Structure 1
Amino acid sequence: MTNAATTETATMPLRIAAETTPTSLWNDSADPRELARSIEFGAVGATCNPVIALTAIRNDLDTWVPRIEQLAAQHPTAGESELGWMVVEELSIAAARLLEPEFRRSGGRNGRLSIQTDPRLHRDEAALVAQAVRFAGLAENIIVKIPATAVGIRAIEEATFQGVSINATVSFTVPQALAVAEAIERGFDRRNAAGLPEREFGSVVTIMGGRLDDWLKTWVERHRVLIDPGHLEWAGVAALKRAHHLFVERGYRSRVLSAAFRNHLQWSELIGGDLVVSPPFDWQVRINENRIPVEHRIDHPVDPETIAILLAKVPEFRRAYEPDGMTVDEFADFGATRRTLRQFLEADAALEALVRDILVPAP
């Protein structure tokens, strides 16, 4: 970069926050071009899932169409889905390489690339663990996303015991985040009891704050509940703040991660906390363009009136916000869980269809 460009980057809010606060920035995409720019903004991690992979491939068909054709020639018996997941792995490995310097610098706490387990495995604990172990072997700085359902939480404990660094996905609520953190702690304790080596796992626990907001907006619409819409913009932020403070209070060895952005509050209100924020790249650009102030906000509570109104008028918020709002067995039936899992399954099917259209084009 030129000196002018270097100066411009150094004054961007994301870069300032990354360099002056404990809050870590990740890029919510494994697209190597976006990730390289995000690293200039201060990003120290990135993530991939079926939706992200599908978007990255569609945005760079000139690269991926010939690569998929090449993979098909190299693996003549592989099906479309298998080939699609080969591409996901290649995307993830390439992104992981970009993050290796930060992985070394931070001793493994940062510099992580998140890769998501196949959503079709969401009912199979053993299959989730086996795939998590496989993915962990793709690169030293891989961290594996497993859904925060009852099945997934059991898999998270076992995968942690087997040495996998964990990121939770399909996770929107305080009770889910706490259950995942406890599962990671149990996995660590089992490793210690078995005499397995201690190291920095860098595990994180995602709360998809924007998707929680989306679900609550759908719920109030369906149930004809009239509420100041501004309150609903704070629900995800409130859940993220509460989860972070509980993690600190309880001494968990994992961090909260803010994902699924719908407004800049899901970054700006969390600054100052030892946690991760993972905006999509376009959100990062917008935050920088608008010079959103960098202020220590993590300890500023959400307006108590907003919390009181949400608790009184939106029972689904109570389930998401209170630590005991749901049991582990209820996680899979939470509206945001079902909606997001369906989207991931649909993206997986769309990736398979994309590969099919390349290999067997319509006549």
Structure 2
Amino acid sequence: MNATTRLHELGQSLWLDNITRDLLSSGTLQRYCTDFSVTGLTSNPTIFDEAIRNSTAYDEALHRKAKEGKAGEQLFFELALEDLTQAAALFGPVHEATGGIDGWVSLEVSPLLANDAGATVEAAKRLHTQAHCSNLFIKIPGTSAGVEAIEESIFAGVPVNVTLLFSCEQYMAAADAYCRGIQRRINAGLDPKIASIASIFVSRWDKAVMDKVPGALRNRLGIAISGQVYKAYRERLASTGWRKLADAGALSQRLLWASTGTKDPQLPQSYYIEALAAQATINTIPEKTLHAFSNEGILRGIMREDGGDSETVLGDFANAGVDIQALAAQLQLEGAQSFTKSWADLMAVIASKSEQLHRHGSATGR
């Protein structure tokens, strides 16, 4: 039994942090499900930018859709939904067998909407309707405007993957928004069974402070933050307020560990996967990390529900001059800016490839 299977049997879902048309057409994603116990996947603008830029697999569809007069965001979302609905069908049996808890794929709204709650909600509803897919999450960032959009989207019946969460406070704001949306559905006599996950970004913490703290604290901040968040997550699931929602039929908003590939070349690639083994959570894993963990990973135990030594470690970082709240805000802002840049790159590569394919098609009489 390999390490990924053991982690799955422990009660943690393993999702792939990648999607490409080649992964689907080659049967590789199917093999990951069979060999590595992968039960879902996530995507973001950077992933799609790299997939379309570095492959010819999208060229025929790009050419055809461009000839139909489609461009920009419309063209991209059609391409993305073709990939994601195919992947969602692959995960369909898991989704059904787990009662809608597992077997999900994710699509992000345009990062350009990060500070516009109303436009984010409209985009989330539009993509959810366009997909016709029961196991597709719409990703909304956990920014201030995003928190408002999360509540409204959940109330509208849109499953939401809350992305770009870094601190415990940011997680709690997203979890509260989810619960408010569910409570409003209950009050309105609507089905409260709307799924959501909250995605905590881990390794970017350690990259941010890598050269600013003593060696003894190197690569310990992301895991300490995760321990603090996991404690809050378990306390929420045990709370009276949550039990009332669950008794009414609500699904728990699951916790997902994101950004779990290592940024420090001195670390083993499976470092964060091993440290974040926790029941009733999800780990979304880059392909390279998935292979490394399967081949070399070791389960060293599970995360403690009381957070373990996370508060002590965070105190050590505070004493070393790290302002956790300020850094969390900075990391969220930088994450949003990074996705915005990737979005611009993605739109540019779609336009460029469409034009090249059009010229080639015209030259060859296609």
TM-score, reference length from structure 1: 0.84
Q: Distance in 1 between matches of 2:311 and 2:277?
A: 20
Q: Distance in 2 between matches of 1:304 and 1:150?
A: 26
Say which is worse superposed, 290-299 or 204-213, in terms of deviation.
290-299
Q: What does the per-residue CA deviation read over 1:98-144, in whole Å, with 9 as the maximum and x for residues that have no partner?
A: 11111111110111111111101112111111111122231111111
Please say if 1:315 is aligned against 2:302.
Answer: no
Partner of 1:227: 214
Per the TM alignment, residue 294 of structure 1 is displaced from its structure 2 partner at its CA by 5.3
Partner of 1:347: 342
Partner SS state of residue 356, structure 2: coil
Contact 1:311 1:318 in 2 (8 A): no
Pick closer, same or farther for the CA change 1:170–1:37 going to 2, 3 Å. same
Partner of 2:94: 102
Partner SS state of residue 151, structure 1: helix
Contact 2:225 2:310 in 1 (8 A): no
Per the TM alignment, residue 86 of structure 1 is displaced from its structure 2 partner at its CA by 2.2
Partner of 1:7: none
Per the TM alignment, residue 51 of structure 1 is displaced from its structure 2 partner at its CA by 0.7
Q: Distance in 2 between matches of 1:59 and 1:295?
A: 39
Per the TM alignment, residue 15 of structure 1 is displaced from its structure 2 partner at its CA by 1.2
Please say if 1:47 is aligned against 2:42.
Answer: yes
Contact 2:165 2:199 in 1 (8 A): yes
Per the TM alignment, residue 305 of structure 1 is displaced from its structure 2 partner at its CA by 5.7
Partner of 1:277: 283
Q: What does the per-residue CA deviation read over 1:208-266, in whole Å, with 9 as the maximum and x for residues that have no partner?
A: 1112222333xxx5xxx4421x5241211111221122111122521211011234332
What amino acid sits opposite 2:283 in the alignment?
A: V
Contact 1:235 1:317 in 2 (8 A): no
Per the TM alignment, residue 181 of structure 1 is displaced from its structure 2 partner at its CA by 0.4
Q: Distance in 2 between matches of 1:46 and 1:202?
A: 15
Say which is worse superposed, 28-37 or 248-257, in terms of deviation.
28-37
| Unpaired segments ≥5 residues, structure 2 | 243-251, 263-269, 360-366
Counterpart among 38, 51, 58 of residue 53 in structure 2: 58
| Unpaired segments ≥5 residues, structure 1 | 1-10, 321-330
Counterpart among 222, 242, 248 of residue 234 in structure 2: 248
Q: Distance in 2 between matches of 1:250 and 1:303?
A: 18
TM-score, reference length from structure 2: 0.83
What amino acid sits opposite 1:296 in the alignment?
A: I
* Residue correspondence of structure 1 range 289-308 to structure 2 within 5 A: 289-293=295-299, 295-299=301-305, 301-302=308-309, 306-308=313-315
Partner of 2:29: 35
What amino acid sits opposite 2:204 in the alignment?
A: R
Say which is worse superposed, 294-303 or 269-278, in terms of deviation.
294-303
Q: Distance in 1 between matches of 2:209 and 2:324?
A: 7
Please say if 1:111 is aligned against 2:98.
Answer: no
Query: What is the aligned-residue identity percentage?
Result: 24
Per the TM alignment, residue 319 of structure 1 is displaced from its structure 2 partner at its CA by 5.1
Partner of 1:3: none
Say which is worse superposed, 304-313 or 166-175, in terms of deviation.
304-313
* Residue correspondence of structure 1 range 109-148 to structure 2 within 5 A: 109-137=101-129, 138=131, 139-148=133-142
Say which is worse superposed, 205-214 or 105-114, in terms of deviation.
205-214
Partner SS state of residue 293, structure 1: coil
Please say if 1:79 is aligned against 2:71.
Answer: yes
Q: Distance in 1 between matches of 2:346 and 2:82?
A: 14
Partner of 2:332: 337
Pick closer, same or farther for the CA change 1:134–1:294 going to 2, 3 Å. farther
Contact 1:169 1:206 in 2 (8 A): yes
Say which is worse superposed, 126-135 or 143-152, in terms of deviation.
126-135
Contact 1:135 1:142 in 2 (8 A): no
Q: What does the per-residue CA deviation read over 1:74-105, in whole Å, with 9 as the maximum and x for residues that have no partner?
A: 2x1x3334322322222222221111111111
Per the TM alignment, residue 163 of structure 1 is displaced from its structure 2 partner at its CA by 0.7
Q: Distance in 1 between matches of 2:284 and 2:230?
A: 15
